[in-house]
């Protein structure tokens, strides 16, 4: 099915035949069947996605989407908005957590300015595609209009096109945007039905009073927009962010291109939750990396019925949690691809029951 709205085009399901072949291979490797637990499932899922018995994760593509948020006027972050621009420089200069992780993994790293206060002349090396300097303050206004939402979504699709040019076998999206835990929380409350109070947390480090204020602002925002929040697309447009929408577009486009994706923490999960409602066919392509220390994440993960790979108390963003699990995925593939079978190693198989 092809439609004008590219984001609803279904992703082709991963190969069932390859899933079966990879499952059979796991059963033949020199270990009790199932003994490598979820590492087996990861390798099998990657084999099915890549359509090859021995999946490969050499080329990793990481995109960090930066976006500024009008809602910061309401005092909902512990850090000033200037950090969104300052961190873009840090990403490019190699000093940020995601820069270090990307280097360690031998991954390609790009930074996309989806709409921030950055001066492009000041930040060479960033992909500048600003939709505006920031979203509208969604306490009173829709964060984006329809054209801006589509533009942001397409920035994610463009990034996936660059990942494909790099022959990437795995796509990681990250985000940077002061105030974006507020946008993510508002989106997730509207998408899942959890109350704002149930899933609001400190983000970069609000104190208890700050969190209560954040709850109040987000609750008011959702009340103000209640009538408009009638679809995942509307929710993402009205209370989301440019960078979060770009991530939603990237997840959908990667799955449509048959590429595996690792989802990062709380904010990326908001983008993924919207993507899954807009286009449910992408689900098999998404691996959820970790359970964030942002308190709402555990609930949201349960609601989505997904199982994060690790739980390390991370609460950074930038794609850092997703990058952190790449070595585990690589090891899962190495075991699956390189272990000997019982026949090859002349090891006796399990007794018949």
Residue 40 contact, options ligand NIO, ligand RBZ, none, Cβ 5-8 Å cut-off depending on partner type: none
DSSP structural state of residue 350: P
215, 317, 323, 332: which one binds ligand NIO (CB under 6 A): 317
In terms of CB distance, is 234 or 291 closer to ligand NIO?
Answer: 291
Task: Please give the Cα distance from 221 to 296 (Å, whole number).
Answer: 18
For residues 333 and 57, the answer to whether their CB atoms sit within 8 Å is yes
Minimum Å gap between C-beta 174 and ligand RBZ is 7
In terms of CB distance, is 78 or 343 closer to ligand RBZ?
Answer: 78
Residue 266 contact, options ligand RBZ, ligand NIO, none, Cβ 5-8 Å cut-off depending on partner type: ligand NIO
Minimum Å gap between C-beta 202 and ligand NIO is 8
Q: Measured at the alpha carbon of residue 182, what is the angle toward residues 181 and 183, in degrees to the nearest 5?
A: 95
Q: By CB under 6 A, tell whether 203 contacts ligand RBZ.
A: yes
Q: Measured at the alpha carbon of residue 192, what is the angle toward residues 75 and 142, in degrees to the nearest 5?
A: 45
Q: By CB under 6 A, tell whether 175 contacts ligand RBZ.
A: yes
Which residue stretch of 90-98, 187-195, 251-259, 264-272 sits at the interface with ligand NIO (rule: CB under 6 A)?
A: 264-272
Q: By CB under 6 A, tell whether 203 contacts ligand NIO.
A: yes
What is the dihedral angle through the alpha carbons of 301, 304, 305, 308, rounded to the nearest 10 degrees? -40
Q: By CB under 6 A, tell whether 130 contacts ligand NIO.
A: no
Q: Hey, which bits of 134-205 come out as E strands?
A: 170-176
22, 87, 186, 246: which one binds ligand RBZ (CB under 6 A): 87
Known catalytic membership, residue 318: yes
Tokens of 352: 């018949």
In terms of CB distance, is 144 or 267 closer to ligand NIO?
Answer: 267
Tokens of 240: 């989301």
Task: Please give the Cα distance from 286 to 56 (Å, whole number).
Answer: 16
Residue closest to 287 by CA, chosen among 303, 313, 268, 312: 268
Q: Which residues are catalytic?
A: 318
List residues binding ligand RBZ (CB under 6 A): 77-79, 83, 87, 175-182, 203-204, 316-318
């Amino acid at each position: 099915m092809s439609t004008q709205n590219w984001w609803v085009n279904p992703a082709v399901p991963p190969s069932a035949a390859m899933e079966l072949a990879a499952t059979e291979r796991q059963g033949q490797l020199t270990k009790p069947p199932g003994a490598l637990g979820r590492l087996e499932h990861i390798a099998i899922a990657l084999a099915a996605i890549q359509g090859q018995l021995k999946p490969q994760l050499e080329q990793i593509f990481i995109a960090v989407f930066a976006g500024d948020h009008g809602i910061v006027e309401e005092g909902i972050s512990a850090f000033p908005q200037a950090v969104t621009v300052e961190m873009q420089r840090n990403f490019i200069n190699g000093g940020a957590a995601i820069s270090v992780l990307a280097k360690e993994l031998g991954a390609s790293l790009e930074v996309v300015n989806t709409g921030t206060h950055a001066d492009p002349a000041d930040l060479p090396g960033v992909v500048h595609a600003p939709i505006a300097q920031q979203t509208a303050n969604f306490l009173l206004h829709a964060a984006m209009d329809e054209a801006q939402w589509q533009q942001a979504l397409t920035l994610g699709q463009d990034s996936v096109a660059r990942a494909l040019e790099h022959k990437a076998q795995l796509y990681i999206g990250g985000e940077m945007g002061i105030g974006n835990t507020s946008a993510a929380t508002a989106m997730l409350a509207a998408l899942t039905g959890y109350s704002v109070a149930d899933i609001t947390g400190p983000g970069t480090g609000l104190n208890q009073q700050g969190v209560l204020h954040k709850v109040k602002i987000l609750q008011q925002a959702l009340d103000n927009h209640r009538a408009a929040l009638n679809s995942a697309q509307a929710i993402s447009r009205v209370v989301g962010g440019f960078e979060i929408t770009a991530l939603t577009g990237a997840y959908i486009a990667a799955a449509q291109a048959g590429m595996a994706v690792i989802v990062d923490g709380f904010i990326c999960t908001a983008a993924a939750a919207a993507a899954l409602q807009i286009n449910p066919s992408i689900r098999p392509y998404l691996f959820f990396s970790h359970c964030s220390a942002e308190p709402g994440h555990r609930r949201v993960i349960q609601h989505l019925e997904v199982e994060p790979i690790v739980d390390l108390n991370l609460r950074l963003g930038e794609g850092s949690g997703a990058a952190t699990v790449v070595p585990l995925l690589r090891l899962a593939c190495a075991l699956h691809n390189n272990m000997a079978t019982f026949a090859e190693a002349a090891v006796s198989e399990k007794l018949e029951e």
